[in-house]
Amino acid sequence: MRTLIKLGGTLLDTPEVRDRLACEIARLAASGREVVVVHGGGRQMTQYLAERGVESQFVNGLRVTGPETLDAVVKVLAGSVNRELVAALVRAGARAVGLSGIDANMVEAEQMDPSLGAVGRVVSAHPELVDLLLANGYLPVVACVAGDRQGRMYNVNADQMAVACATGFGARQLLFLTDVDGVLDATGSVRPVLSLAESERLIADGVAKGGMRAKLDAAGRALRDGVREIRIAPGAQAGIIERLIAGESVGTVLQ
């Protein structure tokens, strides 16, 4: 069974949480399951840009990406954040390999909207490199940077990148590990189970907005494209991956 785990960037801010998640992921891979990791790094990006006097702007949870921001995306997301996560996984015993969608044209994208700059919409994901790595015992770790056949690079929302990789690489299970307890309804309560129609209603009513809206939009596409199990769960809780794999009711299941 192939599982794709999307790690929210806030979970990678501290070495302690990063190392704990790396150990859990390494154990899952060692159990014989095929595991692919896609990670964000939004907070690290915002800090990097702020230190250089660049204000971050967002539209519907998507970071407006001018030339200076795109340079930071490559340096931070595909650079330091990816390398630190790979190093943590290697320490935990996994044969982790750091990648971005640009490698081997693994994830192709096109410009989403000129007003957003170099923000990409994924148009295809090619599984050949991931298949090769998994077949030989490696653990792919993918940063959310994609490209096109003309060599242009794009900043891709990490949730959208995770969905594109999950569907393109044939994952049956998609785990969104984030910094919230799950999907919240209008009362602020976690919804343990959420249908596609209910998810769309939360978006339409403005309950799910910003990053959660982007996550639910992406999860909806994954459901339509045949990913069988999608969970949004609190990555900061110890043992979260084992608990999710065991079927424990934690966070939100989308169906």
Residue 93 among the catalytic residues: no
E strand or H helix at 145: strand 145-147
Mean pLDDT by 10 residues, the chain (255 residues): 92 93 98 96 90 89 91 95 97 98 95 96 95 97 96 93 94 93 90 91 87 85 88 94 93 91
Residue 103 among the catalytic residues: no
E strand or H helix at 82: helix 82-91
Q: Which residues contact 246 (CB under 8 A, 6 or more apart)?
A: none
Q: How far apart are alpha carbons 23 and 92 in whole angstroms?
A: 5
* pLDDT value of residue 224: 87
Q: Are strands 2-7 and 173-178 parallel, antiparallel or unpaired?
A: parallel
Q: How far is CA 8 from CA 95, 181, 210, 211, 215, in A?
A: 21, 13, 14, 10, 11
Q: Are 19 and 92 in contact (CB under 8 A)?
A: yes
The active-site residue out of 8, 117, 182, 215 is 215
Residue 215 among the catalytic residues: yes
pTM of the predicted model, to two decimals? 0.94
| Mean pLDDT for the chain overall | 93
The active-site residue out of 61, 98, 159, 220 is 159
Residue 239 among the catalytic residues: no
Residue 40 among the catalytic residues: no
The active-site residue out of 42, 117, 147, 220 is 42
* pLDDT value of residue 173: 95
* pLDDT value of residue 17: 94
In terms of residue numbers, what domain contains 153?
Answer: 2-254
* pLDDT value of residue 205: 87
The active-site residue out of 8, 9, 40, 98 is 9
* pLDDT value of residue 76: 95
* Identity of the residue numbered 50: A
Number of domains, the chain: 1
Q: Which residues contact 158 (CB under 8 A, 6 or more apart)?
A: 6, 8, 9, 38, 39, 40, 41, 42, 144
Q: Which residues contact 149 (CB under 8 A, 6 or more apart)?
A: 105, 108
CATH number at residue 131: 3.40.1160.10
* pLDDT value of residue 1: 87
